[in-house]
């Protein structure tokens, strides 16, 4: 009988599975798109002009910003001049950068600068200037409001961006989304490693490509597999070498010993960044750090607890299937016990959102290996659909597993509008639509303050 009902439902909607949620019939296209040419991203004009400008949070609470940029020829000037807007007699301040460079096979990077601006005022727009006369470049950013439980704040969410024509559509859509104030980026940046000898020029072109967003708002970075750049065949033995030279994060502020895992507080959110490609077994630095991190989260101060990780723990795509499983086994009980609101991942070049489910009962002998509905569990979002050179992952596991609420094989980005301690509005924007269209949307209820069940309104009709 059940199977007949199921069959009838199947006839009613090809998109709905009796076992789980919705598989959108919409597939953007199945072929990979090519990288935009290097010539599309020439260096800015001017002698030794600063380029590849990007900013991120520089401390635990949002009163500090790290500004990073590259100068191609000369190490100097290595300072940034900055001042708040809106004041008549603004006092200009200067910060000096820590400057580095690296070699990778036969590639030598430009001078990579990282300057930390401290003791900024909350909720203030600052102008900053890099370079010297003739090649000066000016940008601005806004500091967040002071950390607090009901502070509204909007995050963008993106992953696996790369630098193809599709990546360009994703980024263009994101930039046109005027609400998003800070990006939560779930890893896989340039895809330089998909090119011969990990062509590190692709790291430079990517830095120029994303500058129109990264110079103006912080991107919170998580590292993906395309950041590893481990290539013993060309004598490159240091994992994450290009990434760690180019992208600095405030890991010491959260007492981490590695830039690959750390946390920041921003407005009403506590964001924990993990590394899928660093040891996380018991007794390892990442494990010990995370164990000590959860008790520090005060939900009266930061109600929203969000985890970023590259490889998803729940995902029903055939592509990279179960690669995140060992990390799920290590950490899932902690995210459930600590009522994490959202776990955001990338890696799989498709979009998927789960129900609140957990699979923490299983102990090998009891056979209880099926995920179950769990109001304390996070929603898992896989958003590795930035549009990179490897193309979309369109082969889903059938039937759709019971934990999967919505999945679609197309490119896009998401936005999380935190309204107060109980409510946040989440939307996913596929590239094919105009930016204001939400192909998947959900009022998310905070797990600590309002652990009610959510009701999704996925508009999977194309
Ligand atoms: C690095 O080596 C490759 C392959 O031999 C060559 O095509 C490329 O031009 C070289 N790049 C530099 C900067 O020397
Ligand atoms: C990237 O997108 C922007 C905005 O739509 C467009 O102006 C630009 O020409 C695109 N770049 C390439 C290389 O297609
Ligand atoms: C948690 O944060 C609230 C609000 O800032 C504060 O009143 C309270 O003392 C904090 N609790 C702990 C244990 O620090
Ligand atoms: C495994 O789970 C079962 C059922 O919950 C329980 O009875 C058993 O003691 C557990 N085994 C171990 C080794 O914890
Ligand atoms: C929180 O925001 C939601 C959505 O805007 C609103 O419905 C609710 O009343 C707000 N709660 C409080 C306590 O203001
Ligand atoms: Fe990946």
Report yes or no on 99 lying in a domain. no
**pLDDT at residue 30 in the model:** 64
> Is 44 within the bounds of a domain?
no
Q: How far apart are alpha carbons 75 and 81 in whole angstroms? A: 16
Residue 106, in any domain of the structure? no
- Residue 179 belongs to a domain: yes
Question: Which band of pLDDT confidence, cut at 50, 70 and 90, is reported for residue 139?
Answer: very high
Q: Does the C-beta of 366 come closer than 6 Å to ligand 4?
A: yes
Whole-number percent of the chain with pLDDT over 90: 86
CATH number at residue 328: 3.60.21.10
Total domains in the fold of the chain: 1
Q: What is the pLDDT of residue 13?
A: 38
Residue 359 located in a structural domain: yes
**Is a pLDDT exceeding 90 seen at residue 67?**
yes
Tokens of 40: 């599309």
User: Do 66 and 114 touch, CB atoms closer than 8 A?
Assistant: yes
* Ordered DSSP codes for 320-363: TTTTTHHHHHHHHHHHHHTT-SEEEE-SSSSEEEE-SEE-----
217-251 pLDDT, tens digit each = 999 999 999 999 999 999 999 999 999 999 999 99
For residue 431, the ligand closest to its alpha carbon is 2
Q: Does residue 19 carry a pLDDT above 60?
A: no
CA of 263 to the centre of ligand 5 (A): 27
Task: Find the helix or strand (DSSP H, E) in which 430 lies.
Answer: strand 423-430
The pLDDT tens digits of the residues spanning 292-347 come to: 999 999 999 999 999 999 999 999 999 999 999 999 999 999 999 999 999 999 99
Active-site position among 54, 226, 310, 320: 320
Residue 90: what pLDDT?
Answer: 76
Model confidence band, residue 290 (pLDDT cutoffs 50, 70, 90): very high
Q: Is 320 assigned a catalytic role? A: yes
DSSP E strands, 90-162: 93-96, 98-100, 103-104, 107-108, 111-117, 125-130, 137-142, 153-158
Check if the beta carbon of residue 183 is closer than 8 Å to that of residue 220: yes
Average pLDDT, the chain: 93
In a domain, 194, yes or no: no
Given a cut of 80, whether residue 371 has pLDDT beyond it is yes
Q: What are phi and psi of 93, to 5 degrees?
A: -115, 160
444 within domain boundaries:
yes
- As a whole number, mean pLDDT of residues 119-147 equals 97
Structural domain containing residue 366: 148-187+260-457
Q: In what order do the strands lie in the sheet with 79-84?
A: 93-96, 79-84, 125-130, 137-142
């Amino acid at each position: 009988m059940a199977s007949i009902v199921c069959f009838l439902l199947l006839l009613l909607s090809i998109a709905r599975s009796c076992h789980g949620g919705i598989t959108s019939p919409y597939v953007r296209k199945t072929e990979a798109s090519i990288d935009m040419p290097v010539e599309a991203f020439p260096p800015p004009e001017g002698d030794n002009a600063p380029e590849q400008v990007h900013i991120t949070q520089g401390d635990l609470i949002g009163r500090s910003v790290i500004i990073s940029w590259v100068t191609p020829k000369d190490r100097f000037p290595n300072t940034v001049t900055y001042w708040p807007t809106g004041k008549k007699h603004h006092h200009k301040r200067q910060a000096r950068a820590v400057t580095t460079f690296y070699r990778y096979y036969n590639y030598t990077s430009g001078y990579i600068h990282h300057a930390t601006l401290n003791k900024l005022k909350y909720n203030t727009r600052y102008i900053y200037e890099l370079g010297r006369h003739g090649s000066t470049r000016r940008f601005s950013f806004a500091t967040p409001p002071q950390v607090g439980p009901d502070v509204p704040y909007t995050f963008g969410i993106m992953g696996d961006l790369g630098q193809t024509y599709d990546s360009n559509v994703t980024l263009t859509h994101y930039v046109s989304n005027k609400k998003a104030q800070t990006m939560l980026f779930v890893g896989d940046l340039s895809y330089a490693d998909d090119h011969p000898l990990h062509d590190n020029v692709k790291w430079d072109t990517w830095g120029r490509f994303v500058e129109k967003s990264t110079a103006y708002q912080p991107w919170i970075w998580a590292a993906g597999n395309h950041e590893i750049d481990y290539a013993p065949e060309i004598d490159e033995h240091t994992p994450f070498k290009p990434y760690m030279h180019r992208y600095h994060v405030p890991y010491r502020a959260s007492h981490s010993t590695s830039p690959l895992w750390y946390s920041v507080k921003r407005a009403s959110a506590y964001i924990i960044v993990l590394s899928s490609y660093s040891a996380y077994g018991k007794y390892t630095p990442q494990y010990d750090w995370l164990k000590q991190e959860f008790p520090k989260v005060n939900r009266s101060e930061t109600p929203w607890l969000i985890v970023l990780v590259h490889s998803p723990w729940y995902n029903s795509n055939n592509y990279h299937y179960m690669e995140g499983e060992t990390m799920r086994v290590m950490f899932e009980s902690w995210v459930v016990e600590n009522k994490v609101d959202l776990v955001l991942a990338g890696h799989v070049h498709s979009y998927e959102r789960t129900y609140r489910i957990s699979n923490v009962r299983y102990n090998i002998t009891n056979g209880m290996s099926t995920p179950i509905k769990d109001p304390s569990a996070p929603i898992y979002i896989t958003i590795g659909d930035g549009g990179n050179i490897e193309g979309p992952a369109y082969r889903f596991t059938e039937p759709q597993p019971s934990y999967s609420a919505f999945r679609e094989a197309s490119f896009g980005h998401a936005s999380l509008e935190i309204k107060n301690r109980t409510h946040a509005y989440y939307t996913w924007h596929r590239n094919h639509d105009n930016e204001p269209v939400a192909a998947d949307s959900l009022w998310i209820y905070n797990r600590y303050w309002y652990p009610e069940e959510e009701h999704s309104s996925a508009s999977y009709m194309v």
